[in-house]
Chains A and B, each alone.
Chain A
């Protein structure tokens, strides 16, 4: 198993290398660079920067060099933990990216928990009450969740929060809490702002998960060991929970692994709508201002996160299902 994990991690390195090349090309694609974009922005608001200053700045940050030289400058810093310098934030990009990534992982992890907590019981109910009113109703709700994209749900939530519930929504903290030192009230406030994006991210995947749980359990319940368990005179509750669910829940791990990329990718847009500090708002800003090292490092780290999540899912599957042998 350890050898398998080691091989997987080694295998990620060439992929990451190619990903870094592609990422670098993509962030270089837009015409102009950070300084020309800033000059245009300044010109639009009436100010101006002469061409000389722009040129000097470009020289200073090496933006006038050919592509491969710039690329080399970027990746040669990786081993030292240097992922470039954000021109807009006047700081190395790594701490900025890590902080945002940390929040994304918190939201994503919470939404995974939410998914399991909601989808599994619903799936079990739907399978044991197949074609009942509840089954149909829950399937319909699931379909609705599947059809509403994350950002619409986020908008809807903001709408509900402001108009109907009249509570402050969005953001990492309430306005009054943002500047205070950490205390219990602030933690409570933090959590209160953490769960809505997590639930919104989880909803779409919950629908998928609940449908697969239902299908799996229905398949399992038709098998002979279930009939045997019933013939032994076990209580139906035990037959379902100890025999059926135990066997039906394993494939769910790989389904969840498939949902993780969706969560990571949706978290950007949900973060933007709800103005919570996931990777989204900063990535968008970095793309707009062509703060290329920041944008590139975001893309790189999100890809890394995705790969790591997939690896974790595979390990979890191996741990949960002893029938799977890794070579």
Chain B
């Protein structure tokens, strides 16, 4: 008896048992109908939807990527805009009601220097700067293409709006964190993509052919994995010449990250393919004369697709963290390329955390994003296997 016949029998049996049905049970039967008719992807989606935390994680991740995409628009200032009058200024509060009407504004800031030569910025609310929305500011390229100078919000002439304070050169942290997210988020995505290509092809080939190909691949993976990852990353990034242009360094770092990342993916997929390669559909394809490449790319890789998605989501956090750690050590990306790791490098000095805790905000962004990714990945993993409850 084939699978579909079995399923049909089961279905018949279920509806037989429910001849004497109440309205609720009938509704139940309808949902059963839907379940039996649903495709695998629909089943996964149903299961995923039930996991509220995973949905929340997914939304947060999406928001992060959206913010990175529109960084130039959301950020009030550019990456390198400096305000020499406001060095290490604490975050400003936005107040929403100005004299009883709804008008978001920030207060002016007075600078006093105490006897220890420490600067104190004291908000002075006699001077009010209502925020201008969709206002003209410094020019930037939207999505890297469209030249424009419209920003989501701007402080009026003579004022400054700095939601997360400023750093030691008087640069707006909020804008810098946003611009930094562009690099940090894409390097994770690109790194995962590269290890995905390497890992899925090698993993599927290894599982499909077996024999010496598989042996060779497994030894190779073992070899790569016998290195401790962070020291190896450190050694490889130290080899990136400091005089390389930023784009080249960026790609070199991405490549270095995926050099280790692919092994995990390859292992996972090999196991999956080992289980799949004796399935009927593979045999059927082979008997109709399909080539190995056809079987691999048209049958095996699509069949493992849900797992590829899960595994790549789960490996995003470690990719992003690896870049952050490397840049933090001064081995990965270097200024003028700005990632969260580069921003955090300035915090290395404990004194600055003590005196100016707001320069620590990139760390909060990292923790939030990683948490969201972990929740999302966890939910996806549960959903990828929709047949177990």
Chain A residues within CB distance 8 Å of chain B: 15, 18-19, 22-23, 26-27, 29-31, 143-144, 146-149, 151-152, 155-156, 158-159, 162-163, 170, 261, 264-266, 268-269, 272-273, 279, 283-284, 287-288, 295, 298-299, 302-303, 305-307
A299 and B227 CA atoms in complex are apart in Å by 8
CB of A163 within 8 A of CB of B354, answer yes
Q: Given A143-B371, A155-B353, are A284 and B347 neighbors across the interface (CB < 8 Å)?
A: no
Contacts of B235 in A (CB 8 A): 23, 26-27, 287, 295, 299
CB of A299 within 8 A of CB of B232, answer yes
Q: Given A30-B241, A287-B235, are A269 and B329 neighbors across the interface (CB < 8 Å)?
A: yes
Query: What's the minimum C-beta distance from B198 to chain A, rounded to whole angstroms?
Result: 17
Contacts of A284 in B (CB 8 A): 234, 329, 331
CB of A307 within 8 A of CB of B226, answer yes
A283 and B238 CA atoms in complex are apart in Å by 11
Q: Mark B216-248, 1 if CB is under 8 A from A, else 0.
A: 000000110111111110111011010000000
7 pairs from A and B in contact (CB 8 Å cutoff)? A15-B226, A149-B370, A162-B354, A273-B348, A284-B331, A302-B228, A307-B226
Q: How many residues of B contact A (CB 8 A)?
A: 38
B contact patch SS: helix
Q: In chain B, residues 347-365, which have Cβ atoms closer than 8 Å to a Cβ of chain A?
A: 347-348, 350, 353-354, 357, 360, 363
Q: Mark B124-161, 1 if CB is under 8 A from A, else 0.
A: 00000000000000000000000000000000000000
Partner of A30 from B227, B231, B238, B344 at Cβ < 8 Å: B238
A299 and B233 CA atoms in complex are apart in Å by 11
Q: Given A143-B374, A272-B329, are A287 and B238 neighbors across the interface (CB < 8 Å)?
A: yes
CB of A29 within 8 A of CB of B239, answer yes
Partner of B234 from A31, A147, A151, A287 at Cβ < 8 Å: A287
Contacts of A306 in B (CB 8 A): 226-228
**Residue B328, interface by CB 8 Å:** yes
CB of B366 within 8 A of CB of A146, answer no
Contacts of B328 in A (CB 8 A): 151, 269
**Residue B324, interface by CB 8 Å:** yes
Contacts of B329 in A (CB 8 A): 269, 272, 284
CB of B239 within 8 A of CB of A159, answer no
Contacts of A162 in B (CB 8 A): 350, 353-354
Contacts of A155 in B (CB 8 A): 344, 347, 350, 353, 360, 363
Given contacts A288-B238, A299-B231, A305-B228, 10 further A-B contacts (CB under 8 A): A15-B226, A29-B236, A151-B325, A152-B366, A155-B363, A163-B354, A266-B230, A269-B325, A287-B235, A302-B231
Contacts of A19 in B (CB 8 A): 223, 226-227
CB-based nearest A residue for B230: A265
Partner of B374 from A147, A273, A279 at Cβ < 8 Å: A147
A31 and B234 CA atoms in complex are apart in Å by 16
CB-based nearest A residue for B320: A149
**Residue B317, interface by CB 8 Å:** yes
CB of A18 within 8 A of CB of B223, answer yes
Q: Given A144-B371, A147-B317, A147-B374, are A26 and B241 neighbors across the interface (CB < 8 Å)?
A: no
CB of A261 within 8 A of CB of B350, answer no
Q: Mark B306-338, 1 if CB is under 8 A from A, else 0.
A: 000000000001000100110011010000000
CB of A265 within 8 A of CB of B231, answer yes
Contacts of B363 in A (CB 8 A): 152, 155-156
